[in-house]
Structure 1
Amino acid sequence: MKKIPETGIYPFWFWNGQIKEEEILRQLDLMKNSGCRGAVIHARKGNKIPYLSERWFELVRCACCHAGKKGLKIWIYDEDGYPSGNAGGRVQALHPELMQKSLLFQYEGTDPEQPAFAAYDPESYQRLDETRVPANTPALRFHLKELAAHVDTLNPLAAERFLKVTHERYYQELHDYFGSVIEAFYTDDVSFLSCLTSGYVFSPVLEKEWHRRYGRSILESLPFLVEELPGSSEIRSRYFRLAQELFLKNFIIPQRQWCNEHGVCYIGHLCYDEGPQNSSICSFTSAMPFMKNQDVPSIDDFLLEMSDQRYLGRPYNDDSLRVLHVGNRRLASLKTYKQGASIAHQFGTGKLSAETLTYLLWEISPDFLNLQMFFELGMGVNLITPHAFYYTIGDVAGYDSVPSYFFQQPWFSHCNLMFSTWTHIAELLIQGNFHCKVLVLEPSGDIGAMCGKEVLADFPMQTQEPRESVHEIHDVLIRVIQLLLRRHVGFDLGDEVLVAENAIAGNGVLKVGNMNYDTVILTDQEHLSGRMRNILDDFQKSGGMLLDSRNDNLDCLTPDIHLTGAGTEEILVHTRNNAGFQEVFMLNLSGKDLQPELNYEGAFSVYDPLTRKSFHAESHLPNGFTLRAGDLCMLMPPKADGDRPWTESRYIPLDRGEKNPELKYIRPLNDNIFPIHPRKNFELLVPDYANIKLLYAEKLSESKIFINGKAVASTPGCHHPADPAFEAGNVEDLFLHGVNKILFEKSSDIVRLAGNFQVVRAEYPWGLGKMDLQLGDLSAQGYPFYWGAIEYTFTFQGSYDFVEVKMQGTAEVFVNGKSCGYIYGKPFLLFIGNACVRGENELRIQLCNTAQNFVRAESPVPFGIYDVKLKNNLNGSTCQ
């Protein structure tokens, strides 16, 4: 019997190097100590162990054994790379007939020697026999393209062969762990047409089923897909709905059934679930039916981020807001989360899985990561799969969809509280039921608008394009989603096919699975199916409210809570009904401090998920209540006891009489780094005050590096803490003060020197130098390639409630030797009142940076502490 995973963190664990048992054990211990619930074993670029070999299963068995001892769960990523479904190409290699196929099309001259898959007269759109007309006769030609990289996911044999090659092997080798330690199979980037593939999906299975249903060859209908002809909308809808039906029935459902029969869950996400909508339709038609056919609906946050994280401030992102530049794709960041969360509410257990923090590059800050996860948790995510924890960042692995959020990051030593906070919030937002009375129906007309120009942007349509484009139809939905979130109205999305199949109307409500809605909002009334219209007629006649977003004013909708105050429309609200109380999660995404006002029915507590402290309130928020930029809180039932005094809360105004502590010194806790990029010879001037102790390089034992004519030897068992791939050699006796000559006979990767020195601009363009450290960017003060912790020591007189630290990195804060906690990001504020004494106090801050400057060793990103202020609540006092 399968068991749905507990809320928490299950990172992708990239097996991307020379995997060894002892390192597996060490890394699992690190995961456990960091607060992870488990890991997803994921074969990845750089893996040196043959996938699905005996040795592979020995290592997976080792991981399962140790995970079981540590109380961790293992999920199996079901593929060698991605997308899922072909076992690293093994399926189509054994069965070439199962290669994926697509239909490409163009107006061009006929070719009797090489006829196209199908050709049509460009005026009548009747089929042409190319062998019977002169060469170069104008025609609309369709070409059938085979895609060797993936399989025909409409063909049931593809799933059968895939299960046999992959899942059956895992069960054969590791069946003792199924249903206990092995909890799930994770499927990734599935679709019926692979990512970056052009054209319309095609399969002999689709062709045969089309003929069976409609009594005619699909070849008679191909021009109706690409041109706007009478009946085109209906034919396109039939085509994509049939492809979706076959994809789910023949590829997805057999995998879920196999998993459930073997005691594990089926989890994972689609390719192009982020959009844009025409790409999504080409790949899987619509997302929510797929999500319903998983044990836990799943999404991917790839490309959905906004650099300023103002997700309620605009309906779409674009390249100016994304980390990765992917052209003119405008993506609706909110929709994907709402789709997954809605399926979780309607047909699931409330659990929503997400591949999170995907491909954000090495320079991404912990502050961004923390707020991003708060946002995703508020949108309903509670099974968190960070992309990714890397087994190694050596060799090609360090360039594969980076970054790693594992021990390769200096700040990983600080992550336990951050990870446990994410899990804690996820646990709070799974309790009770999502407060929601409104259903927003997704449009279906966009599928009927999928003409040739939507599939191939440069296709020269000969007929007039559809009256509304896919984007124009879908844009109505996107703006309704943003509007309702800004007005704090709880709502779910509904896929028309799923609603029509599952809805029951009566007594003023529309029941869809587990949920009851008293209001339905239409975003595309024109294209509703007859069945859907009948259900909505019954719903409306029974007393339900039906609104058309294109014509009706949505101001009549009652918000979950009545927040007032400037800017409060950019507070993300998630409301839950739990044991008779309406609990509210609030996250300020506006980018500025806000002072919301709220009148509540009865007393409540303001709960701080970061410190896990509660503060009693009557029927309203206290005067001056401040939700700072990026900060969050929850409104919870009043506590009989245990509420803390408001002076310990960062939610009320702080005294403007702030003070800067006196900086005593700044000292690095790790060796500094000087990188040398690949070259044959290099000269380095080492000043008298500098000391080079170690040299780090990948495969140092195989490299031929000479310093002043002497070979550098690898020190057994010694490596940089960033990764065992960076082997160490002791060079303290090889470097001299003055000019040193370094010869590289074989090494082709970055070599890093470590020791006591500072790095300054020079002809290289870097050299060794000396600078006095002060508050500010340390990458510009001699530490441009540093990896590790920097300790700042201050003193101050008297007692203060809070310390505010403007910084880039993560920090642990100590007052008089007592740890007061960690700062990961906004609002960069920490309570220290219980650690202060009258008279002189010592403030010590240990800051960790990111791995970017060490790993890339070029174009350093800033890090450091810029300002420190001591503050009191307005109700507090400073003791001098």
Structure 2
Amino acid sequence: MNFNDLKNPKMQWRGKPFWSWNGKLDKDELFHQIDVMKEMGFGGYFMHSRTGLETEYLGEEWFDLINACADYGESLGMESWLYDEDRWPSGLAGGLVTKHPEFRQKAILLEIDPLTEAKDVLAEFTCDVEGSTYTKLGAGKNHLRFSIVEQGKSGFYNGFTYVDTMNRDATEAYLQSTHEKYAEKCGDRLGKSIKGIFTDEPHRGAVLDGFSMYREDGASTVPYTQKLFEEFEKRFGYDLIPKLPELFLQLNGEAVSPVKWHFIELLQQLFIENFAIPCQQWCTKNKLILTGHILHEDNLTSQTAMSGSMMRYYEHMDLPGIDVLGEHNKNYWVVKQLASTARQTGKTQMLTETYGCTGWQMPFAGHKAVGDWQALLGINLRCHHLSWYTMRGEAKRDYPASILHQSAWYKEYKHVEDYFARFGMLMAEGEAVCDVLVINPVESVWAQVHLGWSDCLALQDKKIQKVEDDYQKLFTDLLENQIDFDYGDEEMLSRLASVEGDLFRVGKSTYRSIVVAGMVTMRSSTVQLLKAFEQAGGQVIVAGQAPQYIDALKADFPSFKTIDFDKEALLAALPKAIALVEAEDIFGQVRKTDKGLVFAALNVNRDERRENVLVNIAAAGHVCELDLQSGEILAVTSEYANGVTSFTCDFSKAGEKVFFISPEPLIEARAEAPPEALEERPLSGNFEYRLGEDNICVLDFARFRMNQGEWQNAQEVLKIDQAIRDQYQIMRRGGEMLQPWFVKQQELKELCELELSYEFELTYAARKVDLVLEEVDKFQVFVNGVALDTSHTERWIDIAFQRLKIPHDLLRQGQNTISLKTIYSEMSNVEAIYLVGDFGVALKGIQRQLIPLVDKVKIGDLCEQGFPFYSGSFSYLVPVPAGSEKLRLPQIAGACAKVKGQVLGWDPFIAELDGKEELLEVEVILTRRNTFGPLHDAVEGRYWVGPQHFTTEGDEWSDPCIFVASGLLAAPVIYLNQKQETKIYEKNTQLSTAAL
């Protein structure tokens, strides 16, 4: 264990973001962005085709740029990684595979009492159906028809469908069209400057759910592949076709069915054999690390619906991963599933695709909170979603924010990356102290699926809901009491498990206790293993009701030790954890190294601190704290008695602590005098300020007309774009639009002449008002009817935005108009425009007013003080008295704050001061949410943000802008040394605002 790496962790442990290649790519700009990523503390990047890509995917220029970036990244010590698809999910090569009908994803469709004819009918039956229940076949009032249908086509797949991942020929076509091209074009870079390849969200199709099927009747389908019935009979010994009603419905209301269980098991086997294994074999042959994740992990329901057992797929990835969407997604168990497989199969690194759908507004505290519990449970490679190459057109709405230079906080982000690199490195040291195995109950869901059981991954069945509830309760009861455990997948146990004395071995891991809880059915192979383990002296605990089925058939379950499904009963039955924290909401993990124990603990509560918390470690030794923010090693005062080392500590909101317990001290403890009593004093009043950028006014409503027709009333610009596309019957822009590189392969037609008129009011004689817009070369621009010179522009925030100076004499007090004229085609982008300068902004409905900047600001939302759209850094100039030793910011609305070079990213937001009387600069670095939106989404506290939320309808839409608060929302607090004479700072010529 090398503690020297704490200060500056190696590239291996640093995050590698999804680098969104989403425009017309330029090598110099790509190199510039690699430089930025290194400055941000990243260790590399995944080169990832996304919505908006104009450079031809898998064309010659594409490969030239891939190689150039790999070479340049290598020169900087950065890792370059490939991504195996145009957008996602992986497997269709941007439509190159699924333009062939035989490779398209298909399904078996159930129709009850159909009124029309059908093709490819498999079978028809007569029975009585009520809800999801049917009675004996051969008689009754209802007609069941089963037929084969093709998945609906989508612009997201460039006009085709997703691929049949259970078809080996389709996978071979995919590997030939994508992977083999990389092998041909990238040569010996593979395995060297190009480390590996990311596969994203492959799946085998939805089971009676409808998610991703692009069909209105998707909830009435199950996946189909050409050899489905042949393979079913070969593997399970009976014909599936006569059993189709039992697959879709419940015979006489019976919830559990071996037909359902067998069917989903078959899908799992075919998916792994025909997609997972060939992809891994190709990567191994070509010296690439295979990483990524599959669809859809969040709970047992979504796993069953889309992919089956996640754990079994992870076995066939070199660096397996997961996807955690949103800022408040606490699906802890998905990391535990991943870590369990990794431990059992000897994989040391695990990936998370994280921060997707969080929106521009997520602060550093959110980055930490989302990443912390994942790092605690073993994630040590963060793949940030998303870092945009450009914000041009629709690309700017592709699941913001952009974790790159477009965000005002990018220069401070190394503070976050250093922290997580240290966390990931430490949690990979040694080996986990984990003696408990929990049998994973996912197959209890498989055996109970039926028509209507789930709706777009939202569970509808109460019996299955109990499986989910028990699953999550067991996880929380164990982890909140610092009892580590692994999950055991039943099929993997049948291959990897054995009994060794009183130990239960699964691959490379061993366990002393096995817990069975929340299971409806269990495999007979698992039952036999549990019997053998108990007979050898091992502990098998059944918490709550035992499974009522074996192999999905009613059966008597063997008699093992049974306890109530209750936290206290469970804790009494299991051995005590080696490290215990006497507080709520604390998860913990212990790792044993050659030099001592690492104990990491995390307060998973983002709203409450835990103070003066007692920690007990069942080991003797010296304790130190490994500070993840600074990389420092800090001595901890502890006591040892009766085999237990004890000490106390505080946990901030969502705060972590990492301790090292070793026979020899890493750092000598020094006797320190008690801290001086400090006086706490809020600093209220109005403050002078400084802007890090010019202020911003967004103009996103315009009047418009086509072909010199009648002017239409002002509408939001994206709604205008939709109206034009609807009129000419072309696909709307959005998350499922055709890729520009694909559209450009056909002849582009000019559709109409378009004029846009944006208005704003100027209430004073402004000194500087500039205009920012996209694709300036495609527009004629007029200010109050006078053509604007567009030949000289400056970059603003992103390469997509060009800044134009508006001559002062073109503006007037009162109403002003900016007009744009263009020829509209399918590739056109109608977007907001921006005014930037030294003005304030006031709003009246959709009307924008430019007003003078205020002289001073008060504590409170900056949106209400002339800065509603501002999204750069905002510095408050705060007088502090002599003797000020610390400053605390009780409530900031922004990404982070900065005081005297100290980045304050999360609770407790405290900066150390010099004790001098001074005019202190307190810099709050805002997010881009109030500039780039969504500004009209009326759903408060939306769980996640995607492209569709920029063009909501009805009650979910608001014409007036809806902002998030920004700035200091509570007065800064200083801590004064009471022994010093305190003198409030008075501004003088030696220390002035101008000097700062």
Distance 1:648 1:788, change over 3 A: farther
Decide whether the 8 Å contact of 1:191 with 1:271 is kept in 2.
yes
| SS of the residue 1:543 aligns to | coil
| SS of the residue 1:364 aligns to | coil
Q: Give the one of 542, 561, 575 matched to 2:536.
A: 542
Decide whether the 8 Å contact of 1:446 with 1:469 is kept in 2.
no
Map of 1:807 onto structure 2: 892
Map of 1:323 onto structure 2: none
Q: Give the one of 859, 862, 875 matched to 2:962.
A: 859
How is 1:713-862 mapped onto 2 (pairs within 5 angstroms)? 713-714=789-790, 716=792, 718-720=794-796, 722-739=797-814, 741-746=816-821, 748-762=830-844, 764-770=846-852, 771=854, 772-805=856-889, 806-811=891-896, 813-815=898-900, 819=901, 821-832=902-913, 836-837=914-915, 839-856=916-933, 858-862=961-965
Once the two structures are superposed, residues 655-680 of structure 1 have per-residue CA deviations (whole angstroms, 9 ceiling, x without a partner) of 46345388752111210011222334
Map of 2:268 onto structure 1: 244
Q: Give the one of 282, 299, 312 matched to 1:258.
A: 282
The CA distance in 1 between the partners of 2:230 and 2:195, in whole Å, is 38
| SS of the residue 1:121 aligns to | strand
The CA distance in 2 between the partners of 1:113 and 1:162, in whole Å, is 31
Distance 1:86 1:685, change over 3 A: closer
Q: Give the one of 203, 227, 230 matched to 2:249.
A: 227
| SS of the residue 1:827 aligns to | coil
Ranges in structure 2 where 5+ consecutive residues have no aligned partner: 1-9, 129-133, 154-160, 545-561, 564-568, 640-644, 704-755, 823-829, 936-960, 983-996
* Greater mean deviation of Cα atoms: 111-120 or 41-50: 111-120
- 1:20 and 2:26 correspond: yes
Distance 1:878 1:414, change over 3 A: farther
Map of 2:525 onto structure 1: 531
Q: Give the one of 654, 666, 686 matched to 1:630.
A: 654
Map of 2:943 onto structure 1: none
Q: Give the one of 450, 461, 470 matched to 1:476.
A: 470
RMSD, aligned α-carbons: 3.0
Once the two structures are superposed, residues 537-557 of structure 1 have per-residue CA deviations (whole angstroms, 9 ceiling, x without a partner) of 121122211111214120222
Distance 1:336 1:294, change over 3 A: same
Distance 1:663 1:433, change over 3 A: farther
Distance 1:623 1:171, change over 3 A: closer
Once the two structures are superposed, residues 277-316 of structure 1 have per-residue CA deviations (whole angstroms, 9 ceiling, x without a partner) of 334213222110001111012100025x427xxx5xxxxx
Q: Give the one of 140, 148, 151 matched to 1:144.
A: 148
Q: Give the partner amino acid of 1:613.
A: E
Map of 1:712 onto structure 2: 788
Map of 2:437 onto structure 1: 439
- 1:360 and 2:358 correspond: yes
Q: Give the partner amino acid of 1:446.
A: V
| SS of the residue 1:222 aligns to | helix
Decide whether the 8 Å contact of 2:25 with 2:55 is kept in 1.
yes
Distance 1:877 1:378, change over 3 A: farther
Q: Give the one of 616, 629, 633 matched to 1:614.
A: 633
Q: CA deviation at 1:49?
A: 1.1
Once the two structures are superposed, residues 704-760 of structure 1 have per-residue CA deviations (whole angstroms, 9 ceiling, x without a partner) of 22113322233546121x211111111143444523532413274211111111112
Decide whether the 8 Å contact of 2:600 with 2:657 is kept in 1.
yes
Map of 1:179 onto structure 2: 191
| SS of the residue 2:452 aligns to | helix
Q: Give the partner amino acid of 1:804.
A: R
Once the two structures are superposed, residues 784-829 of structure 1 have per-residue CA deviations (whole angstroms, 9 ceiling, x without a partner) of 11131112222323334432113122445444xxx2x101122212
Map of 1:121 onto structure 2: 126
| SS of the residue 1:822 aligns to | strand
Distance 1:141 1:761, change over 3 A: same
| SS of the residue 1:727 aligns to | strand
Map of 2:694 onto structure 1: 671
The CA distance in 1 between the partners of 2:494 and 2:341, in whole Å, is 15
| SS of the residue 1:569 aligns to | coil
Once the two structures are superposed, residues 89-128 of structure 1 have per-residue CA deviations (whole angstroms, 9 ceiling, x without a partner) of 11121x3111111122132158677673321121698888
Once the two structures are superposed, residues 163-204 of structure 1 have per-residue CA deviations (whole angstroms, 9 ceiling, x without a partner) of 000000111111121001111111111111164333211112
Q: CA deviation at 1:489?
A: 0.7
Q: CA deviation at 1:373?
A: 1.5
| SS of the residue 2:794 aligns to | coil
Map of 2:175 onto structure 1: 163
Ranges in structure 1 where 5+ consecutive residues have no aligned partner: 312-332, 459-464
Decide whether the 8 Å contact of 2:887 with 2:911 is kept in 1.
yes
Q: CA deviation at 1:151?
A: 1.4
Q: Give the partner amino acid of 2:836.
A: A
Distance 1:517 1:760, change over 3 A: same
The CA distance in 2 between the partners of 1:115 and 1:841, in whole Å, is 81
Map of 2:47 onto structure 1: 41
Decide whether the 8 Å contact of 1:602 with 1:618 is kept in 2.
no
Decide whether the 8 Å contact of 2:191 with 2:287 is kept in 1.
yes
Q: Give the partner amino acid of 2:111.
A: Q
How is 1:76-475 mapped onto 2 (pairs within 5 angstroms)? 76-93=82-99, 95-109=100-114, 116-122=121-127, 138-147=142-151, 148=153, 149-193=161-205, 195-197=211-213, 198=218, 199-229=221-251, 233-275=257-299, 277-302=300-325, 305-306=327-328, 311=330, 333-443=331-441, 444-454=443-453, 469-475=463-469
The CA distance in 2 between the partners of 1:416 and 1:278, in whole Å, is 37
Q: Give the partner amino acid of 2:74.
A: G
Decide whether the 8 Å contact of 1:572 with 1:587 is kept in 2.
yes
| SS of the residue 2:653 aligns to | coil
Distance 1:768 1:516, change over 3 A: same
Identical counterparts, % of pairs: 23
Decide whether the 8 Å contact of 1:109 with 1:138 is kept in 2.
no
Q: CA deviation at 1:558?
A: 3.7
Q: CA deviation at 1:367?
A: 2.2
- 1:871 and 2:890 correspond: no
Decide whether the 8 Å contact of 2:332 with 2:373 is kept in 1.
no
Distance 1:625 1:532, change over 3 A: closer
The CA distance in 2 between the partners of 1:593 and 1:757, in whole Å, is 41
Q: Give the partner amino acid of 2:272.
A: L
Q: Give the one of 560, 567, 573 matched to 2:588.
A: 573
| SS of the residue 2:250 aligns to | coil
Map of 2:598 onto structure 1: 583
- 1:508 and 2:502 correspond: yes
Q: Give the one of 508, 533, 555 matched to 2:571.
A: 555
Decide whether the 8 Å contact of 1:122 with 1:138 is kept in 2.
yes
Decide whether the 8 Å contact of 2:638 with 2:646 is kept in 1.
no
Decide whether the 8 Å contact of 2:48 with 2:87 is kept in 1.
yes
Q: CA deviation at 1:498?
A: 0.8
Q: CA deviation at 1:611?
A: 2.4
Q: CA deviation at 1:358?
A: 1.1
TM-score of the pair, normalised by structure 2:
0.78
Distance 1:580 1:400, change over 3 A: same
